[in-house]
Structure 1
């Protein structure tokens, strides 16, 4: 192969993480698959911790946040959250990657975070409130992106379907007098729902709280 690049390494690492989980991502495994020695990878990433940061930076870097414009802060914040969700949804392992790194060390994530902070300040929130709003908002986007469409790494669709069936039956078999709502809603609870509805409702739920709080401060 040609000259080994950091981008080629993290792209292959993300492919393995998506298919088999992050435990399967090792320097030795990557070196073998890329046809190089482990030392060639250490030139770019000294350890797995640095590799995970590189993976996180690459997956978030696919989202190009729009610069501030004349639209309302509400519209810009929605754009930010929905765009981040769409980007992260492309990687089944995205949530696990971002949970295992110090997000302040991920340049592309810092860009998104900075924009969220600026929009919160534009909405009239204090610096402390803006810090919390940006954290809750971005973590919500990561959580929403993780579901409902991803299959567990290393499992076939048939295996996942069987796991879902067993979970649904387990909830439906609970004592209905003690857990009436869990029994009634066992289907959508474990089988998931339309991804578009899942995303739009999740974003509405998060942003409506921020908007209502901003109105109360006006």
Structure 2
């Protein structure tokens, strides 16, 4: 292979993390996969922490804010949120990577974090509120990205359909006088939603709350 780059190392690390879990990502494993000695990797990443930071930097670069963006704060905040969701869904190991890093070691993460705080301040929120908005958006993105896909992982279409059928029948068997809405909505409640609709509605719901609060402060 050609000259080994940090990007090639990180991309392979993410491939392993996505398919086998982060515990499978080691310097020795990467060296074997890339056909080099471990020392060749140490030239770019001295240890596992630096490698994880490099993985995070690569992940964040896909939705990092562009300079001189003069659009309204809510449009920019939406882009940050949807970009994070896309990244989390594209890379199953992304959540673990972002949870393990020291943000101070990942310039791209700091840039996104700083930008989100700045947008919240533009919206008129106080200091503590700005900090909480950033945390809530991160947790909301994680929840949105994870929920609609976990049921399908490792299961055949037939197995998924059988799971839906069992859940629907269980809800439909509830006493309708006590649980009228669960019984009526048993079919849609037992199924996963289209990802596009699920994501859009989830982001709309979260950002609508932020926008409504921002409006009450003006």
CA spacing shift, 1:164–1:133, aligned 2, 3 Å: farther
Q: Which has the larger radius of gyration?
A: 2
8 Å contact 2:168–2:189 — kept in the other structure?
A: no
TM-score, normalized by length of structure 2?
0.82
1:173 aligns with 2:195: no
1:43 Cα deviation (Å)? 2.5
**Which residue pairs with 1:124 in the alignment?**
124
Structure 1 gap ranges (5+): none
Aligned pair count?
Answer: 215
Q: CA deviation at 1:128?
A: 1.4
CA apart distance, 1:30: 0.9
For 1:106, the equivalent position in structure 2 comes to 106
| Counterpart-to-counterpart distance in 2, 1:168 and 1:21 | 31
Instruction: Pick which of 75-84 and 206-215 moved more.
Output: 75-84
The DSSP-based 3-state class of the residue aligned with 1:45 is coil
Correspondence 1:77-116 to 2 at 5 A: 77-116=77-116
RMSD over aligned Cα atoms: 2.9
TM superposition shift of 1:27: 1.7
Give yes or no for contact 2:64–2:108 (8 Å, CA) kept in 1. Answer: no
Distance 2:37 2:186 in 1: 50
Q: TM-score, normalised by structure 1?
A: 0.82
In 1, the alpha carbon distance for the partners of 2:3 and 2:169 equals 56
Structure 1 residue 105: Cα displacement: 2.6
Q: Structure 2 vs 1, CA of residues 19 and 126 (structure 1 numbering), >3 Å: closer, same or farther?
A: same
Change (3 A) 1:123 1:91: same
Query: 1:23 deviation in Å?
Result: 2.1
Gaps of 5+ in 2: none
